[in-house]
């Protein structure tokens, strides 16, 4: 008979055990697990709560910037002293129109400024040939990466060159660039504006309903797709629509407008707002603004800026003024000028956005543009009809 005695883990010659005694593992009860999870939940917030808090903070930041601009606490009257007396505006405009038109008046006055060499002899509209210098910069300062898009757009244009109506050919031409500034509201300049040979407007600045202040005719309307007027009636009395290219897709949009072949759904997703599918004008009424206008304007603005940038993108208004200098003997401006000392003044003559909204944008250097335009006015190269510069 064999008797099994208790196995010992101790060496009889050694007082230390051969194997450590097993330590009984602590078993957490369901109640303990519940208590630990509750503590963790009290310290950390859930993903849903985190997303909601981030969203609220983001909305709060945007509201702090935009609500004072769009819904100001203080009302602003257009009779404030930032504007010239309306009679003074009309008298100044009438004096310019009654004066003798002199050939190359603008360019002769422009020679007084150091920047004059950069602002002369700039091509206005893109041609089918001679575009080799366009590929060094991306839009709007060039057309880098847009070769195929440009080829399709130019192929759809029957007449891409300068229209005969805009060629000087021995005659003196007066032009007015109509800006969107709130200073234009109540100016009663409409009948004076309609007397100019060339009337230039930008983007969706409306004419219908504002004829008393803005006039009723449009010789050239410059715009990009998102800025195109949505009402077909706004293109009445319009001779030329000129595309300002800010991205390659803008050229495809122009091609679709001319050929009447709508863009695909996926292409439209790349626009930052809905764009029109049709403009009721003939194909020979369309042009493409030469990017050299924007490139040279940006180079000049660098000299007026306190910030050193690799390249500067001008506003459409500044670029159009430089374009007008290439086309016209006399250039007048109406509705130009941002007065940041009056943040509650209307930014545009046709909507409720206020001047403070300009502080939220970071693309353009408005201060350098104002200095540049003021120098043009001081030199007599352009005339400021509404007096906000």
Residue 331 belongs to some domain of the structure = yes
- Would you call 152 exposed, middle or buried from its count of C-beta atoms within 10 A (0-12, 13-18, 19+)? middle
Residue 256 belongs to some domain of the structure = no
Predicted pLDDT of residue 360: 54
Q: What is the pLDDT of residues 184-223, one digit of tens each?
A: 988 999 999 999 999 999 999 999 999 999 999 999 999 9
Residue 317 belongs to some domain of the structure = yes
pTM, 2 dp: 0.77
Number of structural domains, the chain?
1
One-character DSSP codes across 63-121: HHHHHHHHS-SS---TTSTTS--HHHHHHHHHHHHHSPP-TTHHHHHHTTSTTGGGGSS
Most confident of 8-22, 73-87, 363-377: 363-377
Residue 262 belongs to some domain of the structure = no
Q: What is the pLDDT of residues 259-314, one digit of tens each?
A: 999 998 889 999 999 999 999 999 999 999 999 999 999 999 999 887 777 778 89
Mean pLDDT computed over 168-173: 84
Q: What is the pLDDT of residues 120-158, one digit of tens each?
A: 999 999 988 777 678 889 999 999 999 999 999 999 999
Residue 40 belongs to some domain of the structure = no
64 pLDDT band, cuts 50/70/90, is low
Predicted pLDDT of residue 79: 42
Domain that holds residue 190: 78-123+169-245+286-384
**350 Cβ contact partners less than 8 Å away, ≥ 6 residues apart:** 180, 205, 206, 210
CATH number at residue 218: 3.90.1480.20
Q: Count of residues for the chain? A: 389
82 pLDDT band, cuts 50/70/90, is very low
Average pLDDT score, the chain: 82
Higher pLDDT, 11 or 109: 109
Q: What percent of the chain has pLDDT above 90? A: 56
Residue 228 belongs to some domain of the structure = yes
Residue 86 belongs to some domain of the structure = yes
Mean pLDDT computed over 1-5: 47
Q: How far apart are the C-alpha atoms of 172 and 245, rounded to whole Å?
A: 30
Residue 238 belongs to some domain of the structure = yes
């Amino acid at each position: 008979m064999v008797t099994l005695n208790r196995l010992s883990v101790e060496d009889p010659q050694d007082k230390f055990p051969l194997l450590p005694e097993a330590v009984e593992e602590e078993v957490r009860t369901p109640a303990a697990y519940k208590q630990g999870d509750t503590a963790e939940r009290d310290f950390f917030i859930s993903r849903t709560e985190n997303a909601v808090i981030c969203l609220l903070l983001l909305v709060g930041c945007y509201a702090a910037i935009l609500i004072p601009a769009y819904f100001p606490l203080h009302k602003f009257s257009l009779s404030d002293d930032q504007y010239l007396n309306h009679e003074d505006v009309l008298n100044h405009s009438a004096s310019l129109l009654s004066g003798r038109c002199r050939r190359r008046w603008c360019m002769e006055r422009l020679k007084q400024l150091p920047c004059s060499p950069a602002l002369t002899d700039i091509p206005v509209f893109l041609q089918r040939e001679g575009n080799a210098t366009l590929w060094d910069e991306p839009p709007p300062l060039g057309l880098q990466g847009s070769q195929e898009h440009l080829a399709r757009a130019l192929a759809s244009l029957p007449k891409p060159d300068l229209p005969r109506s805009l060629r000087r050919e021995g005659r003196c031409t007066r032009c007015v660039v109509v800006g969107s500034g709130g200073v234009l509201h109540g100016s009663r300049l409409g009948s004076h504006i309609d007397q100019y040979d060339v009337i230039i407007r930008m983007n969706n600045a409306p004419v219908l309903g504002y004829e008393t202040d803005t006039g009723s005719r449009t010789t050239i309307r410059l715009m990009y797709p998102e800025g195109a007027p949505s009402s077909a009636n706004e293109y009445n009395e319009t001779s030329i629509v000129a595309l300002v290219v800010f991205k390659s897709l803008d050229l495809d949009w122009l091609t679709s407008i001319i050929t009447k072949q709508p863009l695909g759904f996926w292409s439209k997703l790349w626009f930052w707002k809905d764009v029109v599918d049709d403009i009721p004008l003939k194909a020979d009424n369309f042009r493409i603004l030469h990017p050299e206008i924007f490139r040279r304007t940006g180079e000049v603005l660098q000299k007026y800026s306190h910030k050193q940038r690799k390249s500067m993108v001008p506003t459409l208004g500044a670029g159009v003024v430089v374009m007008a200098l290439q086309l016209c003997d006399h250039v007048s401006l109406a509705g130009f000028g941002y007065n940041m000392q009056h943040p509650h003044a209307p930014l545009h003559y046709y909507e409720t956005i206020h001047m403070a909204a300009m502080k939220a944008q970071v693309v353009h250097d408005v201060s350098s543009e104002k200095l540049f335009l003021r120098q043009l006015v001081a030199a007599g190269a352009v005339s400021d009809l509404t007096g906000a510069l």
